[in-house]
Structure 1
Amino acid sequence: MKLLTFVDQGEQKLGVKTDHGIIDISASVKNGINFDIKTDMMDVISGFKEEVARLQDFIDYSISENKAVFVDEEEITWGPSVTRPHKIICIGLNYRKHADETNAPYPEVPILFNKFDNTLTGHKDEIPVPKVTKKLDYEVELGIVIGKKAKYINVDSALDHVFGYCTVNDLSARDLQLRTPQWLLGKSCDKFSPVGPYLVTADEVGNPNDLSLKTYVNGELRQNSNTSDMIFNCAEIVSYISQHMTLEPGDIILTGTPEGVVMGYPEGEQHYLKPGDVVTVEIEKLGSLTNYFTRE
């Protein structure tokens, strides 16, 4: 199932993309259908597989009875596909070729840092380039969304706790990131984590460790890799984090970026993002996420 959020009169609403179009779930519920389902993205995530099954039954019925309310995909204002995560946890230097391009040794354990919810934004949104950076970089990343509380879980059962996956652009102000040994400042400016357009349930994605990833800047292909190049795979990441903190439904884990970032280019060929640029990051089975960069 492909879930999404869109903004209607200031309210973030749940949508589901189907073969017939995008269904406005709350509007469809109000259209005389007597189903006990959740209409908020975070509630669906917390309900995990059982809630997805109820939602699917509702969608099938509402379409068959001509009671589904659809919205125009070209006209909606997209929200982040995960709206209120308790934690945003990121993994640094997790692709072999990305470590190679930045002349960094492969980490022996996952490198963890965090972002905050001020960084969240959606597909097609405008992102102001902060005045405090001259080196804004893109990073296509596979996002793991937790659906079931996880603590001290082993690798073999780790993916059983995953609700689904999404495309994320882990925007990074390199001059701020590398100013100190702590990366947080360069990762946490406003709207530095576009997420979407969809949150795709784990059953529809299958193996998350074999998905192609790409980044385009103004139509030019900059990143082109596969999650199989990750040093620590998705199950290993979820298990490792769970040994140190409890993962809650709705938590997002950003799993690292492949080679092709601006920072990895030779000096003199580094063309960082600027106002007027258009960046699209895409991941196989998860969709393409586009954002427009403007002046702050």
Structure 2
Amino acid sequence: MYFATFEFKGEQRLGAFLNMGEGIIPIEKVFEEIGMQPPKDMNELIDSVDDKTIEVMRAAIEEKGLQKFALRNEDVKLDAPIPHPRRNIICLGKNYHEHAKEIEGTDVDKGNELPSHPIYFSKIADPAIGDGAYIVFDENVTREVDYEVELAVIIGRDGIDIKKGDVQEHIFGYTIVNDISARDLQAGHKQWFRGKSLSTFCPMGPYILHKSAVDYPVELDIKCAVNGEQRQNANTRDLIFDIDYVISDISRSMYLRSGDIIITGTPSGVGLGFKPFKYLRSGDVVKCEIENIGTLTNTVATV
């Protein structure tokens, strides 16, 4: 099952569907059918459902004729699935072997080639932007803007000191995040927070794929193209620290909360990894794709 946040006739709404291309069913129709109060936003939806409820929702869509309420994809504007995360997005650096190698020795990374422990940092998304929205940056602030396609894991249940064997129980689903990065700011400030957190620097979407719709552990093809040129092409099985390890590790003596978003790192092929560098310029079209989740496409603009 998929979940979306979208705009229809000037109103932001939630929706669900089983198969891409069949249209988005307004969430109030689904919740009315199963006898629950419809959520106001995606964070509230994640809070209000468990795995059993998801199966009831799926059955309602399949058996109760709810498809007749579906809105056509061309009639809606997709927003980020969670436009306003409750907390900063939790990020991982250098979590694919080849990416760790390609940035070694650059101004952004003066450390060892491969990390011995996960590299955590955070990123502000206020708001995250959706499929089709513009990535906008001020050339007086940064001229070295890069792309990073990443698998995002969305937490569905609070937890602390989560055991590796229990991690899947705490996951709600998955989406795509393009971790846009100002490399010159990263290098100048000697840390990554500001360079990752400029306005519009968190494209997310197009949808959330519920965990029940994909095998675990997650092994999905992950790609990014700029202006049709394939730049990144890998599989999430190539993570240095896998999802079980990361969620168990970061939850040690620290609560993960429902709605938290963890982006798991990017594979090789970022602009910083080319010689000469291939940073984003105004008019560039960035297409991020993860198998079974969909495609997140954004155009770059400068001010």
- Does residue 42 (structure 1) correspond to residue 43 (structure 2)? The answer is yes
Report the residue type matching 1:135 in the other structure: E
In the alignment, what sits opposite 1:94?
95
- Does residue 159 (structure 1) correspond to residue 161 (structure 2)? The answer is no
The alpha-carbon deviation at position 288 of structure 1 amounts to 0.7
In the alignment, what sits opposite 2:24?
22
Cα distance change on mapping 1:174 and 1:222 into 2, 3 Å: same
> Contact 1:91/1:113 (CA < 8 Å) preserved in 2?
yes
In the alignment, what sits opposite 2:284?
277
TM-score by length of 1: 0.91
The alpha-carbon deviation at position 23 of structure 1 amounts to 1.1
Q: Measure, in 1, the Cα distance between the counterparts of 2:64 and 2:123.
A: 38
**What are the within-5 Å matches in structure 2 for residues 219-238 of structure 1?**
219-238=228-247
The alpha-carbon deviation at position 37 of structure 1 amounts to 4.5
Structure 1 stretch displaced more, 68-77 or 106-115: 68-77
Q: Measure, in 1, the Cα distance between the counterparts of 2:135 and 2:115.
A: 32
**What are the within-5 Å matches in structure 2 for residues 123-272 of structure 1?**
123-131=131-139, 132-266=141-275, 269-272=276-279
Query: CA offsets, 1:218-239, max 9 Å, x none?
Result: 1110001111211100111111
In the alignment, what sits opposite 1:118?
126
SS in 1 for 2:231: strand
Unpaired runs of 5+ residues, structure 2, are 105-111
In the alignment, what sits opposite 2:109?
none
The alpha-carbon deviation at position 107 of structure 1 amounts to 1.1
The alpha-carbon deviation at position 278 of structure 1 amounts to 0.5
Report the residue type matching 1:53 in the other structure: E
Unpaired runs of 5+ residues, structure 1, are none
In the alignment, what sits opposite 1:63?
65
> Contact 1:44/1:51 (CA < 8 Å) preserved in 2?
no
The alpha-carbon deviation at position 202 of structure 1 amounts to 0.7
The alpha-carbon deviation at position 9 of structure 1 amounts to 5.0
Q: Measure, in 1, the Cα distance between the counterparts of 2:128 and 2:159.
A: 23
Q: Measure, in 2, the Cα distance between the counterparts of 1:201 and 1:208.
A: 14
SS in 1 for 2:24: strand
Q: Measure, in 1, the Cα distance between the counterparts of 2:34 and 2:297.
A: 37
Q: What stretches of structure 1 move > 4 A for 4+ residues in a row?
A: none
> Contact 1:3/1:16 (CA < 8 Å) preserved in 2?
yes
Q: How many residues matched? A: 290
SS in 2 for 1:199: strand
Q: Measure, in 1, the Cα distance between the counterparts of 2:56 and 2:37.
A: 7
Report the residue type matching 2:113 in the other structure: P
> Contact 1:129/1:275 (CA < 8 Å) preserved in 2?
no
What's the RMSD between the two structures over aligned residues? Answer: 2.0
Structure 1 stretch displaced more, 199-208 or 162-171: 199-208
The alpha-carbon deviation at position 76 of structure 1 amounts to 1.4
SS in 2 for 1:21: coil
Cα distance change on mapping 1:210 and 1:184 into 2, 3 Å: same
> Contact 1:129/1:274 (CA < 8 Å) preserved in 2?
no
SS in 1 for 2:74: coil
Q: Percent identity?
A: 39
Report the residue type matching 1:243 in the other structure: R
